[in-house]
Amino acid sequence: MAPPNAMTTTVTRTVANGKGKRLEPAGDWHGIRRDQMARAKGGHGMVGQNRKHHGGGVVAKDVARKPKKTNQDEFAEVLHPFRQSVIYFGFVVLMFIGHIRDFLDGVMARLGLDASASERRSASNPDCPPLVANSQDFYTRRLYMRIVDIFNRPISSAPGSWIDVMERAREGDPCRNHPKPTGRTKRCLNLGSYNYLGFAAKDEYCTPRVIQTLAEYGCSTCSSSSDAGMTSKHVEMEGVVAEFLGVESAFVYGMGFATNAMTIPVLADKNTLIISDEMNHKSIVDGVKLSGARVKVFKHNNTQHLEYILRKSIVEGHPRTKRPWRKIIIIVEGIYSMEGEMVKLREIVALKKKYKAYLYLDEAHSIGALGRTGRGVCEQLGVDPRDVDVMMGTFTKSFGSCGGYIAGKQEMVEWIRSSSPAAYYATSMSPSAVQQVISALKIIAGEDGTTRGAEKLNRLSDNSNYFRQELKKRGFHVLGDQDSPVVPIMCYYAAKIPALSRLCLERGLAVVLVGFPATALCLSRMRICISAAHTREELKLAIDIIDEIGDKCMIKYLRGSKKVSEEEESYVEELPCPPARLESSRSI
């Protein structure tokens, strides 16, 4: 292993001295970049210096020789067997009590003392089996419902940086009844919405235009995009989106989830192999299921495993017919929403080229949030967007609208336009939402005559990096890459979820906590989404509160490891400007 600091420091100094000064890409530019990322991730900067990233085979070998510290390794460090068994024990206790309650409920129902027992049966035909079997929703009834108050919290304001969270109170049996709003609200700092660029609330540039479009085009077209639903606004938007992404053409859907679920079936058939990352979103899973294609799953962001599967699949062909695959599609996401990690796009593009597979990139979280000009993970990592065969993304997050797009080569987009079920059977996107996207893209590109877009993008990455580093300094186990606005804080114990969420809400922080089944049983986490709308003061406030609660709930798992915090400190001093700016400016 080469000593990690020699080159890194020189580069970072250059950055610090000449803010915004272009760095000539030296031979090992990307190696350095990754090195920094590894350090930012709380690793030990032990990644080799002499990486070469050209040619797929080299990549895989390289990875094999000098394994970067993965999330899995980090989890293993914190999650020693004792801790793990305590977490499992917690679940066992809850399940045990749940089964006892189920049993008692059954007895009560048999004795006719429980009026609500009949609810499980259909009113009109009581002979039918229950719609949802007892075992099927055991987890929901007995575990989830206990802490239902921390999920699905309604708000009564725009999902901007501050939100009015509606207070709810529980009545009756907490395992059966959802809490009801009391009418009171609590003003909280919003760390949960995907409002990356701060377009969620009313905007001085967008909103008037959106309202004007509403008057001109109405709120709905009541028609599909292959019929009257394709208005001149929609046509304009598809052009704007394609231009923004740097590809030939784009096709727009009215919903992000449907974009994946309705596109994959027209690209893949039963003679297609889909190689999918294990952390891929449910919409991709649904799309793959609908397509009827064979699917193989590779370990999260593990290019070595991906290459292994690619080689094996091409050599062996279809497992039943033994014929060669008609095509192979690799599906990855730009930023994984539960991990905050970026995809290793460079390596995957190299592999994809080497093995002639197609690449489907879901940029739901990364479009608008990454890259110097907000063009997503391709810009961030210096990949030519034309190397990605299918670019998919949503407008829900960064652009504060709704819907999704598929972009790429003219021919491919034409095929999707003429065969996607959503083009024929779904209402086209609302014209006002279309206008919101157009306006937001104009702001990002600086076409509104101000520098607001660039400021927003800068602030987002500054905020994300600041927040992540500060939390790391305080000893939290934080996941995710540099510049990624998704900041998951590990809390491991599922039992800590309700405590953390309730304490945060009490102190005026709206955060999201996720546990099983969205994550593994032992890897519960608090997920924070940073926004460009947050000010430094607001983030400081949030950090102080999380710090305090972290002490209370004992989730500062990395406080002991001194090495990490020292490194982080020096890193922050040297690098006030995030390195993404430099790299992305070079590539596009």
Partner 1 sequence: MSGGTVKENLAWCWSKRNHVDEIVSEVWSNVRPGGRLHPAWFFEAKGHLAVELLLFAVILYLITRKSFKPKKEKPLSKAEQEELIEDWVPEPLAPTSYATASDGDEAATGLRSRKNPPVKKQIRYAKTPVVKGKASAPHVQVGSKKVMNLVSTNFLNFANSEKIEDACEKALQRYGCGSCGPRGFYGTIDVHLEFEDRMAKFLGTEEAILYSYDISTPSSAIPAFCKSGDVIVADSGVNYAIQSGLTLSRSTVIYFEHNNLKDLERVLQQVTGEDNKKGKTNLERIQRRFIVVEGIYQNYGDLCPLKGVMALKEKYNFRMILEESLALGVLGKSGRGSVEHHGLEVDQVDITLASLGNSIGSIGGICAGSRRVCDHQRLSGAGYVFSASLPPYLACAAIESLNLLEEKGPELVQALSKKAKVFRDLLGKAFAKSKSLRVHQENDEDVLSPFVHLKLVAKQNSEVEAVEVLQTFVDAALREGVFLSLSKYTFLDRFDGCQSIRMAVNVEHTNADLAKAVGTLKKQAQKLDLL
Residues 224-243 that bind partner 1 (CB under 8 A): 226-232, 235
In whole angstroms, the minimum distance from the beta carbon of 328 to partner 1 comes to: 7
Q: Of these, 19, 215, 319, 560, which contacts partner 1 (CB under 8 A)?
A: 215
Taking the least distance from each CB to partner 1, the nearer of 227 and 278 is 227
Taking the least distance from each CB to partner 1, the nearer of 40 and 511 is 511
In this structure, what token pair is assigned to residue 578? 């995030």
DSSP 70: P
Report the alpha-carbon distance of residue 531 to residue 193 in Å, rounded: 8
416 binds partner 1 per the rule CB under 8 A: yes
Residues 520-579 that bind partner 1 (CB under 8 A): none
349 binds partner 1 per the rule CB under 8 A: no
The distance of Cα 366 from the centroid of its chain, to the nearest Å, equals 8
306 binds partner 1 per the rule CB under 8 A: no
444 binds partner 1 per the rule CB under 8 A: no
Site string for partner 1, 452-491 (x = CB under 8 A): ----------------------------------------
Q: Of these, 26, 93, 169, 222, which contacts partner 1 (CB under 8 A)?
A: 222
In one-letter notation, the amino acid at residue 253 is Y
223 binds partner 1 per the rule CB under 8 A: yes
In whole angstroms, the minimum distance from the beta carbon of 149 to partner 1 comes to: 13
Q: Of these, 6, 113, 115, 315, which contacts partner 1 (CB under 8 A)?
A: 315
Residues in Cβ contact with 189 at an 8 Å cutoff, skipping those fewer than 6 apart:
161, 162, 508, 509, 510, 534, 538, 541, 542
Taking the least distance from each CB to partner 1, the nearer of 165 and 242 is 165
Residue in the structure block whose two tokens are 């193989």: 296
406 binds partner 1 per the rule CB under 8 A: no
Residues 137-166 that bind partner 1 (CB under 8 A): 137, 140, 144, 151-160, 163, 165-166
8 A C-beta contact, residue 301 and residue 277: yes
Closest CA to 282 of 328, 338, 329: 338
Taking the least distance from each CB to partner 1, the nearer of 423 and 490 is 423
419 binds partner 1 per the rule CB under 8 A: yes
In whole angstroms, the minimum distance from the beta carbon of 490 to partner 1 comes to: 18
Using the rule CB under 8 A, give the single segment among 392-400, 462-470, 481-489, 552-560 that binds partner 1. 392-400
In whole angstroms, the minimum distance from the beta carbon of 215 to partner 1 comes to: 7
Closest CA to 505 of 110, 65, 163, 64: 163
Residues 161-190 that bind partner 1 (CB under 8 A): 163, 165-166, 178, 181, 190
Residues in Cβ contact with 191 at an 8 Å cutoff, skipping those fewer than 6 apart:
509, 510, 511, 512, 528, 529, 530, 542
Taking the least distance from each CB to partner 1, the nearer of 36 and 280 is 280
353 binds partner 1 per the rule CB under 8 A: no
336 binds partner 1 per the rule CB under 8 A: no
Residue in the structure block whose two tokens are 């309730």: 502
Closest CA to 248 of 403, 378, 411: 411
Backbone angles phi, psi at 327, to 5 degrees: -155, 160
244 binds partner 1 per the rule CB under 8 A: no
205 binds partner 1 per the rule CB under 8 A: no
| Maximal C-alpha separation, the chain | 80
Q: Of these, 314, 338, 553, 572, which contacts partner 1 (CB under 8 A)?
A: 314
368 binds partner 1 per the rule CB under 8 A: no
Q: Report the side by side order of strands in the sheet with 249-253.
A: 249-253, 404-408, 390-394, 358-362, 327-333, 272-277, 294-298
Residues 90-109 that bind partner 1 (CB under 8 A): none
- For partner 1, how many residues bind (rule: CB under 8 A)? 126
508 binds partner 1 per the rule CB under 8 A: no
Using the rule CB under 8 A, give the single segment among 18-26, 307-315, 379-387, 482-490 that binds partner 1. 307-315
8 A C-beta contact, residue 44 and residue 36: no
Taking the least distance from each CB to partner 1, the nearer of 249 and 482 is 249
193 binds partner 1 per the rule CB under 8 A: yes
- Please state, as a whole number, how many other Cβ atoms lie within 10 Å of the Cβ of residue 435: 24
Closest CA to 468 of 453, 458, 483, 457: 483
In whole angstroms, the minimum distance from the beta carbon of 124 to partner 1 comes to: 5
Residues in Cβ contact with 287 at an 8 Å cutoff, skipping those fewer than 6 apart:
260, 261, 262, 263, 264, 265
Q: Of these, 114, 167, 248, 286, which contacts partner 1 (CB under 8 A)?
A: 286
Taking the least distance from each CB to partner 1, the nearer of 413 and 503 is 413
Residues 49-88 that bind partner 1 (CB under 8 A): none
CB-based burial, 88-104: b 16+ in 10 Å, e otherwise:
eeebeebeeebeeebee
8 A C-beta contact, residue 459 and residue 532: yes
Q: Of these, 15, 37, 79, 217, which contacts partner 1 (CB under 8 A)?
A: 217
**First-to-final CA distance of the chain:** 33
8 A C-beta contact, residue 577 and residue 459: no
H/E run at residue 547: helix 536-553
432 binds partner 1 per the rule CB under 8 A: yes
Taking the least distance from each CB to partner 1, the nearer of 7 and 58 is 58
446 binds partner 1 per the rule CB under 8 A: no
Q: Of these, 43, 98, 254, 515, which contacts partner 1 (CB under 8 A)?
A: 254
22 binds partner 1 per the rule CB under 8 A: no
Q: Of these, 60, 275, 306, 329, which contacts partner 1 (CB under 8 A)?
A: 329
Report the alpha-carbon distance of residue 62 to residue 353 in Å, rounded: 18
Using the rule CB under 8 A, give the single segment among 65-73, 369-377, 378-386, 390-398 that binds partner 1. 390-398
Closest CA to 86 of 568, 522, 566: 522
Taking the least distance from each CB to partner 1, the nearer of 165 and 392 is 165
| 421, 427, 432, 438 alpha-carbon torsion, rounded to 10° | 10
